[in-house]
């Protein structure tokens, strides 16, 4: 990532040419929206902000942001508007207002709001019908990563449009990956990746409850839990290669072995009165796979069974 001075010169600020800095508008000033705005400001961009709840922009205005009185005024202030709100119900409620849609005509929206892929495609269709240039996206790292090399952004939609606005988006730091022309592609990746994250977090919370019931503190378990986490990346890579290749061999660890381990977890949890529905669901998937004749296969076979609509 370039330094702030380099970014200011790149966007026309601080150079001898005296050109006006590039501008951007941010709609939504929750924790992530504030982080995005801060990164744009630190990159020297003229940044206009609007939030549904008044007063949330006070600190950002003190740092140089321009407060817009309405969303239509906000989007009219910049060629590029970045949206980051709680979901697409919230973003649609703003973007699809007649006066906002009129102000956006011919301008670009980059929607970094998290939601389902079909909502991304629906909003892209609406944008096309109203003459709005549209890119969808996803933020895959926490707020404190924004503006640093650790930030990760996914984008989808017209490649030429992405390339046009990439210099401004790069001000957000980290890595930006364009995944394809399908506007729902970034959200598809995000849903799959969040599936991993939240399922893992739910499993960790359950593990802490079981450990506590067995007299093990969370601090005592943590280093061993990190060890479990460390073995997962190579397993992910191996399973991905096998699934894409149609290789479901389970010579090292067949699903029947997994079923046995899962049953032990269910038994121990319920013996302590701890809800085991999460592991019962996982065990049920594994048993269903075994029941279809795949007991000797590896755990990755479950992915195929889950996706089988037959």
Beta-bridge mates of residue 24: 47
Structure tokens at 286: 């594994």
Q: pLDDT averaged over consecutive 10-residue blocks of the chain (310 residues)? A: 36 34 91 98 97 93 97 98 98 98 98 98 98 98 98 98 97 98 98 97 98 98 98 96 95 93 98 98 96 96 85
pLDDT of residue 19: 31
pLDDT of residue 245: 97
User: What's the CATH class of domain 4-180?
Assistant: alpha beta
In terms of Cα–Cα distance, which of 43, 28, 21 is closest to 82?
28
Element (H, E) at 110: strand 108-111
How many other β-carbons are positioned within 10 Å of the β-carbon of residue 12?
A: 16
Backbone angles phi, psi at 69, to 5 degrees: -75, -15
| Cα 291 to Cα 111: distance, rounded to the nearest angstrom | 44
pLDDT of residue 126: 98
Structure tokens at 79: 């060629």
Contact 298, 255 (CB under 8 A): yes
| Cα 61 to Cα 113: distance, rounded to the nearest angstrom | 23
SS3 192: helix
pLDDT of residue 12: 36
Structure tokens at 130: 């109203």
Q: Where are the domains of the chain?
A: 4-180, 189-307
Structure tokens at 9: 């010169």
| Cα 170 to Cα 178: distance, rounded to the nearest angstrom | 12
**Interstrand relation of 108-111 and 175-178 (parallel, antiparallel or unpaired):** unpaired
Residues counted in the chain: 310
pLDDT of residue 2: 37
pTM of the entire predicted model: 0.89
| Cα 36 to Cα 46: distance, rounded to the nearest angstrom | 13
Compute CA 136 distance to the chain's CA centroid, rounded to the nearest angstrom: 11
pLDDT of residue 62: 97
Structure tokens at 142: 């926490």
SS3 83: strand
Contact 280, 265 (CB under 8 A): no
For the segment(s) 189-307, the CATH number from 1.10.10.10, 2.40.110.10, 1.10.3720.10, 1.10.1040.10 is 1.10.1040.10
| Cα 297 to Cα 126: distance, rounded to the nearest angstrom | 45
pLDDT of residue 15: 33
CA torsion 232-238-242-243 (nearest 10°) is 40
Element (H, E) at 176: strand 175-178
Q: Ramachandran region of residue 273, left (φ > 0), alpha (ψ -120 to 50) or beta?
A: left
Q: If you ran DSSP here, which 8-state letter would residue 22 be given?
A: P
């Amino acid at each position: 990532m370039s330094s702030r001075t380099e970014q200011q010169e790149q966007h026309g600020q601080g150079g001898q040419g005296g050109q006006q800095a590039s501008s951007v508008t941010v709609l939504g000033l929750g924790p992530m929206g504030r982080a995005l705005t801060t990164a744009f400001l630190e990159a020297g961009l003229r940044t206009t902000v609007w939030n549904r709840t008044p007063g949330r922009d006070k600190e950002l205005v003190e740092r140089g942001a321009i407060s817009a009185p309405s969303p239509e005024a906000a989007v009219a202030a910049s060629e590029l508007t970045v949206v980051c709100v709680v979901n697409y119900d919230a973003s649609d409620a703003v973007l699809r207002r007649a006066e906002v849609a009129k102000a956006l005509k011919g301008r670009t929206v980059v929607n970094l709001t998290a939601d389902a892929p079909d909502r991304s495609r629906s909003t892209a269709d609406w944008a096309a019908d109203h003459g709005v240039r549209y890119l969808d996206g996803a933020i895959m790292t926490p707020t404190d990563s924004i503006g640093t090399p650790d930030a990760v952004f996914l984008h989808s939609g017209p490649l030429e449009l992405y390339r046009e606005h990439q210099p401004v988006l790069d001000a957000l730091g980290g890595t930006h990956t364009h995944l394809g022309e399908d506007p729902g592609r970034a959200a598809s990746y995000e849903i799959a990746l969040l599936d991993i994250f939240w399922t893992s977090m739910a499993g960790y919370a359950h593990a802490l409850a079981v450990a506590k019931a067995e007299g093990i503190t969370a601090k005592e378990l943590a280093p061993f839990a990190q060890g479990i986490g460390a073995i997962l990346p190579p397993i992910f890579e191996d399973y991905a290669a096998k699934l894409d290749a149609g290789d479901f061999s389970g010579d090292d660890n067949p699903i029947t072995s997994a079923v046995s381990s899962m049953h032990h977890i269910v038994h121990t949890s319920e013996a302590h009165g701890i809800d085991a529905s999460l592991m019962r669901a996982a065990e049920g998937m594994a048993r269903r796979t075994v029941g279809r004749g795949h007991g000797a296969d590896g755990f990755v076979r479950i992915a195929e069974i889950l996706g089988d609509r037959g």
